[in-house]
Structure 1
Amino acid sequence: MRASFFRLACSLAVLSSPAWAATEIVVATVNNEHMIEMQRLTPHFERANPDIRVRWVTLEEAGLRQRVATDVARGATRYDVVTIGMYETQVWARKGWLRPIEPPPAYDVDDLLPAIRAGLSVDGRLYAAPFYGESSMLYYRRDLAARAGISFGERPTWREVRAAAERLNDPAAGVHGICLRGKPGWGDNMALLLTMVNGFGGQWFDMAWRPQLETRPWREAVTLYVELLQRWGPPGSAANSYNELLTLFRAGRCAIWVDATIAAGFVSDPAGSSVAGRVGFTQAPYAVTTKGANWLWAWSLAVPTSSRHPQPARRFVTWATSKEYTALVARERGWAAVPTGTRRSTYANPAFQRVAGHFAAAEKKAIDSVDPGDSTLPRSPYQGVQYAAIPEFQTIGVAVGQQIAAALTGRTTVEQALRASQAAADREMRAGGYYGN
């Protein structure tokens, strides 16, 4: 009896001593509203997992991509969980930089939307878990459109969008005809622009991997893009990406906005949106083809192979992307605030349908319509809609995004920007050994 008591006392002393401490995992993420909400709810995870503490590193999108990519490529141990998208998942998993997620059966992998699951899997294994998924759609002010006698079909053309932007532009009322991403970056201005290029019948590379940036579809798409923002967009568009445009739209400053479907819940929430109840939703515009007119993305959580604490990291990833986390957000903030675009069960939930039915169908239709393996009118050798899943793409996308921003601000012409972009892409592809001289 005395020996048993002694062993128990020793065990308690070890657990309460300064030498025993919870494992700290570091999570790197992007500074958007859903991720900030995840940080706020993290104490729920820590109470259920008292042996784990979570420390956050929160960055804006371009900074996150640059820092995480550098650390993961070098095998640094700074982060245990990283927030990445489909592009990084496809490329990094093949390089051996990510650990498979391997969630428990209760996670219900089969509940994930097929397009989202496929985009985050390599050789049938899940290498990142989707926190929220998205395609793109057109948002418009129904009240302003009705007043002007404008109606949008289920999927308008870019010609119709141009005409509507011109008519709805109202400087006296502080309403811009259209808002689009202008900030340079492969995930910023290029995410939107590539869907425009696809819709005009263009592509990044032909079947011989040669860049196609001086072709007619690119010229037409970029010319229209520059015209829309220069004539009817907000001043300083070259500094605007998702967060800035969400703020403008919710404040009633944009008549039309083409961007991520994930914004639908935010623009519909009366607590944060002055235009809630007055927003219409359609599929993303097209020109000559609907192939690739909608992008496909998922902000996801992954565990790099360099993580010092992979098992606690996996437990956090599983929690943050689970059905239970969705239910937690619904209890804390309401069903309108849950992250969407990932699970069948969310869209099938009657409580979600009651608050999100006006946009949920359009959102899910956009996601389900995308095929990253067949997203261009001419055949292409790459996977991806608004990106090409090859290591060289990130450098190419950044360089082209900068050239497009220069054309938008008038520092160069569209023709000059595309000529410089073609040269930059050609240089990277030759260096990568895709073709010779």
Structure 2
Amino acid sequence: MPHSTHAAAAPRRWTAAALALVLCAGASAQTELVIATVNNGHMIEMQKLSRHFEQAHPDIKLKWVTLEEGVLRQRVTTDIATRGGQFDVMTIGMYEAPIWGRKGWLQELKTDAAYDVDDLLPAIRNGLSIDGKLYAAPFYGESSMLMYRKDLVGKLGAQMPERPTWPQVRALAAKLHDPGNGVYGICLRGKPGWGDNMAFLTTLVNTFGGQWFDMQWKPQLLSKPWKEAISFYVDLLRNYGPPGSSANSFNEILALTNSGKCGMWVDATSAASFVSDPKQSKVAGQMAFARAPIMYTPKGANWLWSWNLAIPAGSRKVDAAHKFIIWSTSKDYVQLVAKTNGWANVPTGVRKSTYANPEFQKAAHFAAAEKLAIDSANPTDSTLPESPYVGVQFAAIPEFQAIGIAVGQQMSAALAGRTSVDAALQASQILTEREMKKGGYYK
């Protein structure tokens, strides 16, 4: 009766095997989402809080790839253009979202009533939409403004105008500059990159009356506004900026400002919550805010940007990615940050409801200045002469990324004294012309 004995034992053996298979299937059923993000404060906080998402969605595991801004842009651009499939959720900017959406590289984001898409600030929502369809969800938005040490300005018997001019800022930088005591008159971006030094410099050129391209798409880097703006910038930072400015971007200057070393700083409004936070900043109680300085025109003097989460078109994990994006950009997420870290530290620049919240208004004394800056930025009318492109601190064309990086390197070299302003602009004009001709914009 060997056969019947074997048959009787079989169910027990198969039960154990089946159990192992079930356990194995359960483990593999967990979806791993690979999220590429930037190493900014709000994003690092999102990683810490994402355990709440994983607890609510035990079938989804998050894997973070956190990169410096320039590296992130290169990695996600290469991955999406080659359909590499490395990332399930990408952190992208307001520059990429409409271009990639039009190319069919991004999944359209479908939102429900609870998400309340109408709560998004119009300038931000419009910048991420094509024909009313949303292709990226904003995590935080920003414009640019002037942040300054009111204690140091007060000691001089000076007053910061609500909307200062660049000559006024230069005069104040000269008085504030006290390197012997570790204070520099002004800190500005110098690190090369289209979203690094060129974000700031494009707004400077705009307010000096310049533009990247005329209506025939001819590059304008040899125009008077460019020469005047870049010469002003180089002179200002060489005289009244910290040493090594040509290597400084947002994070480097944030560290300098928080340690009390910058008299003034013109940069992203998102910095306001960090410089005002006593846990991070030695001079939190001394920081005050004014609008981005202007020269000949207020047009394009302050930028418009948002960091957003998007799903690449080829993703095989769309449902899980969608759940995570909706969670991390929702009203509930803002409430979670407020509960965990206080209202002064929530991601800003995205939702009307955040600015309408009395607790936020009370905690964030920068709120009104930030919202004014975001509301006043107009990507469709950012230059004094008429321009053929959309964008304040960038031109929303695919070629701009390569152009901005190359021009950024020339501007950084001029700031570091490795080349002259004239030579840097000459080289920039030539390389920009070459890219635009290659792109078929003109012959």
Q: TM-score range by the shorter chain?
A: over 0.9
Question: Residue 208 of structure 2 aligns with which residue?
Answer: 200
Tell me if 1:14 matches 2:25: no
Pairing 1:4-403 to 2, within 5 Å after superposition:
14=22, 17=25, 20-356=28-364, 358-403=365-410
Cα distance per residue 1:78-135 (max 9 Å; x no partner): 0000001110001111111111111222100000000000011111111010000000
TM-score, normalising length: structure 1: 0.96
1:408 aligns with 2:418: no
Aligned AA (2:373) = A
Residues 95, 225 of structure 1: alpha-carbon distance in 2 compared, 3 angstrom cutoff:
same
Larger Rg: 2
1:3 corresponding residue in structure 2: none
Deviations 1:382-413 (A, max 9, x none): 00000000000001000100000110011111
Cα distance between partner residues in 2 of 1:11 and 1:379: 70
Matched to 1:117, the amino acid is R
Letter in 1 for 2:322: R
Q: What is the one-letter code of the residue matched to 1:226?
A: V
Query: Tell me, what secondary structure is at the counterpart of 1:98?
Result: coil
* Cα contact 1:14–1:20 (8 A) shared by 2: no
Quick one: which amino acid aligns to residue 106 of structure 1? A
Separation of aligned partners in 2, 1:12 and 1:346:
49
Residue 154 of structure 1 and its aligned partner are, at CA, apart by 1.2
1:152 deviates by 1.4
SS in 2 for 1:165: helix
After TM superposition, the runs of 4+ consecutive aligned structure 1 residues lying more than 2 A away are 10-21
Question: Where in structure 1 are there 5+ consecutive unaligned residues?
Answer: 1-6
The alpha-carbon deviation at position 50 of structure 1 amounts to 1.1
SS in 2 for 1:312: helix
Bigger mean CA deviation after superposition, 85-94 or 19-28: 19-28
1:211-239: per-residue Cα shift (whole Å, max 9, x none)? 00110110111001101111111111111
| Counterpart residue type for residue 44 of structure 2 | I
How far apart are the structure 1 equivalents of 2:109 and 2:426? 42
- Sequence identity, in percent? 64
Aligned residue among 426, 429, 442 for 1:422: 429
Structure 2 counterpart of 1:338, one-letter code: V
2:168 is paired with a residue whose SS is helix
Aligned to 1:265, the other structure's residue is in SS state helix
The whole-number CA distance in structure 2 between the counterparts of 1:171 and 1:56 is: 40
2:420 partner letter: T
**CA distance, structure 2, for counterparts of residue 380 and residue 23 of structure 1:** 46
Give the superposition deviation at 1:156.
0.4
CA distance, structure 1, for counterparts of residue 322 and residue 276 of structure 2: 33
Distance in 2 between residues matched to 1:235 and 1:286, nearest whole Å: 25
> Where does structure 2 lack aligned partners over 5 or more consecutive residues?
1-14
Q: Distance in 2 between matches of 1:25 and 1:308?
A: 10
**What is the TM-score with the length of structure 2 in the denominator?**
0.95
* Cα deviation 1:343-381 (Å, max 9, x = unaligned): 00000111111111x210000000000110000000000
Q: By how many angstroms is 1:18 displaced?
A: 5.4
Q: What is the SS of the residue equivalent to 2:138?
A: strand
Give how far 1:16 is off: 6.7
Comparing 19-28 with 220-229, greater Cα deviation is found at 19-28
Whole-Å Cα distance in 1 between the matches of residues 53 and 112 of structure 2? Answer: 17
Q: How many residues align?
A: 429
Q: Name 2:442's counterpart in structure 1.
A: 435
Amino acid across the alignment from 1:394: Q
Deviation at 1:308, TM superposition (A): 2.1
Aligned-partner SS, 1:166: helix
Q: CA deviation at 1:21?
A: 3.0
**Letter paired with 1:421:** S
Inter-partner Cα distance in structure 1 for 2:238 and 2:215: 34
Aligned counterparts of 2:91 and 2:25: Cα–Cα separation in 1: 34
Structure 2 residue matching 1:282: 3-state secondary structure: strand
Return the alpha-carbon distance in structure 2 between the equivalents of residues 19 and 275 of structure 1. 49
Is the partner of 1:298 in helix, strand or coil?
strand
